[in-house]
Amino acid sequence: MKSIIFDRMKKLIFSLFIITSFIAFNSCQDEFCLDSTTPNLVIEFYNNTERDNLKEIDLIVWANTTKDTIFNGTISDTGSLELPLDTQNNSVVYHLSRQDDLGNGSVEDITINYTTEDQYVSKSCGFKSIFNNVTISTTNADWLLDSETTTESITNETEAHVKIYH
């Protein structure tokens, strides 16, 4: 009699283990965020005289709210600059210092204005922000000769949102 009860208990414990393992395995399926999250602003730099041609530039970039450098290096004629936008505010100011061949810098400011919209992505990703009504203004004091936005909404990072001509 004891062995029948013992066998049934072993089967019950084994069944509970299998069910618990199955539930635990399936509940972990959605823990990694593979969807796109809040996009960065993508800037491409163009030759002012040949406006269809990208142009290499040496830059140092920092935001108005911090003294930390966000970017320091060369953006090649095939690359772009990605800058984060502040999801808690409706604008951000970036300072772009262009380095010439002698190491002299000239600072231009760009101000990006926008409205934010939060979108639910998934359980694992939560929400992301997209940016609408995007406009820019620049100082155009020295090397930054012109600029334009290519879209009014920033929803991804697959294309340039701003073109800067220098």
- For 105-129, the pLDDT digits (tens) are 789 999 999 999 999 988 888 899 9
66 within some domain: yes
Which of 70, 148, 165, 143 has the alpha carbon at shortest distance from 112?
A: 148
Q: Within this chain, do residues 113 and 93 fall inside the same structural domain, yes or no?
A: yes
Specify if 145 maps to a domain.
yes
Which domain does 18 fall in, by range? 1-30
Q: What is the pLDDT of residue 123?
A: 83
What percentage of the chain carries pLDDT values higher than 90?
A: 52
Q: Please indicate, yes or no, whether residues 23 and 57 belong to a single structural domain of this protein.
A: no
12 and 46 both lie in a single domain = no
Q: Are residues 5 and 26 in the same domain?
A: yes
> What CATH number has the domain bearing residue 122?
2.60.40
| pLDDT tens for each residue of 77-91 | 888 999 999 999 999
Nearest to 124 by CA among 38, 21, 39, 35: 35
Is residue 36 domain-resident?
A: no
Asked if pLDDT for residue 41 goes beyond 60, the answer is yes
- 9/2 Cα distance (integer angstroms): 10
Residue 29 has pLDDT above 60, yes or no: no
45 versus 35: the higher-pLDDT residue is 45
